[in-house]
Amino acid sequence: MVMEILPCCLKGRVRIPPSKSAAHRALICAALADGESIIRPAVLGADVEATLSAARALGAEIEVSGGAIHVRGVKAPPKSAAIDCGESGSTLRFFVPIAAALGVETVFSGQGKLAQRPMAPLLDALCAHGARVKSAQGEIPAVSGALQSGVYQISGSVSSQYITGLLFALPLLQGDSELRLTSPLESRGYVDMTVQMMEHFGVKVNALPDSYRIPGGQRYRPADRAVEGDYSSGAFWLCAGALNSDVYVEGLEHSSLQGDKQIIPILQRFGAQITTGQNSVGARHGRLVSTDIDVRDIPDLVPVLAALACYANGTTIIYNAGRLRLKESDRLMAVTQGLKNLGAGIVEYSDKLVIIGQASLRGGAADAFGDHRIAMAMSIAALGCDNPVRITGAECVAKSYPDFYDHFVRLGGNCYAV
């Protein structure tokens, strides 16, 4: 699908969808619990659908009804299973260790660039503790064997999803385990969310500065959980308000552990006017000025921050961004090419972006590269262009935010498929 977006100002209030990261975690804990859990609201994107499918494949019973997801946890895991992870790196990295802990011989598959996303550190840790992994170069792994408790050593600098996957799995084993990080943990907020969600479902994890101690023989308990709103998605609308108007995002918890909550102080540094209410955040246009941004712990914000920086007076540097080359697309390349096509002054380096702000961009054509966050970022960049913007492959927003363009129009945006 090609989406054409005309320059405009977005204004009004929008209720953000549930956090995809929190939804993954709640659903997995529910699937491992002994009894029935209710997860609400039931707003599903492609990645969350992949996690539901994976949980069903391992024996969970799941029904979506009444605006909620009803999950009856796994009682007797199957001997073997096949799990299609779609394009969800979270689903793959979370369920590989879970399948090994349950002793289920599992063949994993996926689409897009999922097979190219790194898995070796996680697979090596599993193989060192009794799992057997079949994984040829460029292929998604198959897992068998029975995972054993013990001391796990793994890097914290490649993906926090490795840590989360192991944290989900290790309490299911009979003995105690320790997860030692061999390098500083990046995106720590996501792991904090995991530990918090596990505690909601009755599982204890002892978090230390550079390790996690996990008592074995634990059982997840069923729970009724409301999934908090998604700061990652809300960031697009907040940046739109900061760019040229006034937008309020509802459904954001101020006490959230989501790393992307950092969008608020970052926008303030850009010069936006920020207001907060009960479970809401508003961003209003101010005179935008450049700022340097360390994105080591907030990689998902990079595409929309780069779009906003195009309109900030001065030079913005977005650094510690090398991991973005391993996402659904090479996001540093994708955002650079897209914004350049629209007339931006942006230079791509191995692990950073340098962006020279200007009053407006000329508009033009951009490719989403099959990446939901690139499509949404180009849509926000289009708001300040002199001419329309055409985004090829815009349907990929369904991965995390199926209603994105509906909400875009409700806020006064002018866009249509061509």
Active site residues: 300
Rg (CA), the chain: 21
Q: Which residues make Cβ contacts (< 8 Å) with residue 209, sequence separation at least 6?
A: none
Task: Give Cα 87 to chain centroid, integer Å.
Answer: 12
Phi/psi of residue 238, each to 5°?
-65, -40
**The 61-65 sheet, strands edge to edge:** 61-65, 68-72, 36-40, 224-226
Contact 357/288 with Cβ under 8 angstroms?
Answer: yes
Distance from C-alpha of 247 to C-alpha of 12, rounded to nearest angstrom: 5
- Sequence letter at residue 33: A
The encoded tokens of residue 412 equal: 């006064």
- Rounded alpha-carbon distances, angstroms, from residue 231 to 70, 107, 253: 25, 33, 9
- Rounded alpha-carbon distances, angstroms, from residue 129 to 27, 113, 132, 165: 26, 28, 9, 15
Give me the residue label for tokens 């792991």. 191
DSSP state of 300: G
**The 11-15 sheet, strands edge to edge:** 11-15, 246-250, 280-284, 273-277
| Pairing status of strand 2-6 against strand 414-417 | antiparallel
Give me the residue label for tokens 């508009």. 363
HSE on the CB side for 20, CA within 13 Å? 24
The encoded tokens of residue 348 equal: 């791509």
Verify cis geometry, omega within 30 degrees of 0, for the bond prior to 118.
no
**The 211-214 sheet, strands edge to edge:** 151-154, 177-181, 211-214, 206-208
